[in-house]
Chain A
Amino acid sequence: MNNPYLGYNPVFEQLAETARNNSNKLQEAAGDIDAKETQEYLSLIIDTLSNNVIKFIGSLPYQDLKTQIYPGALEKYTKLSNNASIRDLFTNLYAIWKDAMEKIKASKYNGSTDFLKIYADANAGIDKIMQSWSALQTKAGNILQDPALVEFTNSKMQTLVASVQSSLDAAKTALS
């Protein structure tokens, strides 16, 4: 007991000890992050990952390569708003990127060092985001299983997919 003005009270001390123990247990389960913060970080990571996957696949400078990769990637991307878990979303989004990278490396442009450097940087960036996702998983633990958060994630992806589709439609109109 730190307060010098209070005498020793065994009941109070027991209660204080119980509170400390429970607090440690909570800390173990979810670090010191709460559900609201988890959602904020998660949202940020999803935005960054989704934006850059779509951006770098979409900005492939060689039309034949883009034709080979982009439509398939986009089709998979549009189906990402109905995930059973948040982990599924990350797995699928990352798979889209990795698949694109495989195709880039296997393409006839693999001799273009400048071109490959761009995608090596982008790939390193995507890997960094995945690292951030891993850190959040460690920190938030079971919070990420919360159905409300899964629903939030799906709804977020729905917004992102709709935004990409409407942008592409607008671009198509401008080009027609």
Chain B
Amino acid sequence: MEDMRRSIPSSKSIDEDKDERVENREERKRERKEGRFSDPSVSSQDRQYGAESSASGRFKISAFIKALEGLKNQIISKIVECDTRIKTDQTGTGTVAQKYKQKYLSFLDRTASLLGEIYSRKEKEGRNLEGDEDAIIIKAFRDNYNSILTELEESSKSFTTDIDTKAAEYLKGLKFKEITGPLAEADKLFAAASIKMDELLKMISQSVSSSGSSGSSGTSGNASILTDTIKSGVSYKKDSKEGIVVIAVKKTIYEKFGKIKALSSSKDWIAVYKSYPNVGGTLLENTEAVIRAIKAGLADDYPELKGDTTGNITPAFVSALGRAKVNESASKIPGKLISFEDFIKSPKLTEGFNVDAATSAMSGKSSSSSSKGSSSTKPRVEAPQYNATPFTTDAEGNDFRAWVNQKHADWAKSNNLSAAGPKNNNYIRKAYQEFGEEYKGTKAAPESVKTEESFTNKQMKDLIDKAKNAGANCHAQLTDNGDVILYFHSKDGMEYGHIYNNMKTYYRAESGKIFSGKYIPDKNMVTFDEGNKSFSFDSVVKTQITNSLSSESAENAQGKKAYVGSASGTKVYVTPTYRDLDSTTNVIAKYDTADKYIGLVTSTTKRDGKTLYKVTFPEAIRPNKNGSNVFEDGWVKADSVNLK
């Protein structure tokens, strides 16, 4: 029967094919129209040269890429300028350039990461992100872009002012005004051009922000638009609310489960995805079969899907589909977020997927979620190898994940354990088997676990607004569960942190050292584990606490042993005098192995508001093997070490 169906498609399948052909044709027509966007005759509006806005409530990826490319070009040219000024430095602007170069590099890093994400999105999603369905992703893209742009604009202004001041001073000292006069005028013209360039970029940014207005509210996740079930057996129009969801569900299924041969080689799958990434809003026989299969395959991990043998798209199914992913390799440090690409798709997503049940359901047999009842001989992708964890909520699981990532960073890295993810998959189970006892010991006061609460996305959005009102550089980011979390950072991006929806807070100092704590909503304070220090929410999100958080008072620090911070990535520079720590150019030793012993703290001082420790080394250090310099002691930054 199956063979017959493959060779002679049912009438419903033929309809589905036809619908999709029509939709594909329309799609191509729209593409051609968009190709004319750059034609100046279309409109004289300048913003059209940067990014087209959308009337259809969609976020146009190509427009966003254009805006990002413009931003990237601007940043690179600033870096090139800084480097050249540092190299030549005739007018004394080299030191100014040195200061700004780090900022521009951090902007470039952030822009590169956004570009990477949006390009992979484009590859998978095509031209647009859907306003409703991808609202939170769109918002995060925009927030990130606007945040970089605003900071770049501020930096550019002060950079231009600082450079102009220095250059003007230099020119003033030169005697031949017939030569220096035109140069001074040229500098003014270039400064004016730079300001106009920033304005143009802002205009492009506004154009991007205005596209896809329906997605701007931001906090609705995939499931939020789906309050009612979308019934199968209907061919929905591509632009209809239902059609948009059907398409998104089809694409998500393809991306997450396309690697399972048993599914992707089935006739239903082939019928649905033969023109991928072009898929339509049809929810007919083939799509129904695919959805049934996925429901059956997921039912082990998502019991709410048990017994649902329909091809309907229910809120529970969309929710499970959205959560059914584990990007275990994304996080290297606590609080690091997965990329949007990983958010949507990961090759490891199918770790708990019941292939037997899925293939049975696809072929119209019993859709029992139990593998025992299956007639197929194919094994599950991965059988549980470890005991279940005791965690009852994802928030508890995430706490443990974050703790492992912080305390046993190397293990977490080599075992691909991310800082956020499902509470009971094989990765976390393995970690719990390894470190469960140790973790329990750290949770001697179980009250905090018992009273664990989670903010909703709406509450997180309020919290983010509160941080913004306080003047923090911050925006929303996503965990791989689709939860909104607050990301905040210093102006230069060297210090940053996250507040999760379970109030857990991570704060990374410039040195790379990470501090964990918890946000207390009632008091609007964050209490950190280290030294049990508390700070106001505002000062935390404005990254004003590094020094107080990391330093001990002089009398407490002296006599203690200094170790490299325990978070992976922490770097400790040791210099002969505390002044050398300003630039870390005159370095005796550099350590980046977590928890490595450095020496005994013998004195402390403060410089530019930062605490510095003088340490006596266990053995004298000779930086150059053949050199005559031998150091018995040196200076380190307080925020890069742990004292014990």
**Residues of A participating in the B interface, judged by any CB pair closer than 8 Å:** 33, 37, 40-41, 43-45, 47-48, 50-52, 54-56, 58-64, 66, 108-115, 117-119, 121-122, 124-126, 128-129, 131-132, 135-136, 139, 156, 159-160, 163-164, 166-168, 170-171, 174-175
Number of A-B contacts (CB under 8 A): 172
A73 CB, min distance to chain B CBs, angstroms: 12
Give complex CA distance A118, B72 in Å.
18
Main secondary structure of the interface of B (DSSP, over half): helix
A-B contact pairs, 5 of them (CB 8 A): A125-B186, A160-B84, A164-B84, A170-B79, A171-B108
A167 in complex: contacting residue of B74, B80, B88, CB < 8 Å: B80
Q: Assuming A111-B40, A174-B112, is B79 touching A129 (CB within 8 A)?
A: no
Judging by beta carbons under 8 Å apart, are B70 and A62 in contact? yes
Give complex CA distance A119, B189 in Å.
10
Return chain A residues, CB-CB under 8 Å to B108: 171, 174-175
Q: Assuming A41-B176, A51-B85, A55-B77, is B182 touching A63 (CB within 8 A)?
A: no
Return chain B residues, CB-CB under 8 Å to A124: 186, 189
Give complex CA distance A159, B89 in Å.
12
Return chain A residues, CB-CB under 8 Å to B192: 121
Give the residues from 63 to 89 in chain B that come closer than 8 angstroms, CB to CB, to chain A: 66, 69-70, 72-74, 76-85, 87-88
Nearest opposing residue in chain B for A33, CB measure = B176
Interface string of B182-207 (1 = CB under 8 A from A): 11011101101100110111011000
The 5 closest A-B pairs by CB, nearest first: A61-B70, A125-B189, A128-B186, A59-B77, A121-B193
Interface string of B576-590 (1 = CB under 8 A from A): 000000000000000
Return chain B residues, CB-CB under 8 Å to A62: 49-50, 66, 69-70
Main secondary structure of the interface of A (DSSP, over half): helix
Nearest opposing residue in chain A for B87, CB measure = A163
Judging by beta carbons under 8 Å apart, are B189 and A128 in contact? yes
B188 CB, min distance to chain A CBs, angstroms: 8
Judging by beta carbons under 8 Å apart, are A160 and B200 in contact? no
A118 in complex: contacting residue of B50, B105, B109, B197, CB < 8 Å: B197
Nearest opposing residue in chain B for A122, CB measure = B193
Return chain A residues, CB-CB under 8 Å to B72: 175
Return chain B residues, CB-CB under 8 Å to A54: 77, 80, 84
Whether B180 sits at the interface, judged by CB under 8 Å, is yes
Q: Assuming A58-B73, A61-B200, is B183 touching A45 (CB within 8 A)?
A: yes
B280 CB, min distance to chain A CBs, angstroms: 32
Give complex CA distance A62, B71 in Å.
10
Give complex CA distance A58, B179 in Å.
27
Whether B39 sits at the interface, judged by CB under 8 Å, is yes
Judging by beta carbons under 8 Å apart, are A43 and B190 in contact? no
Return chain A residues, CB-CB under 8 Å to B204: 61
Give complex CA distance A23, B200 in Å.
55
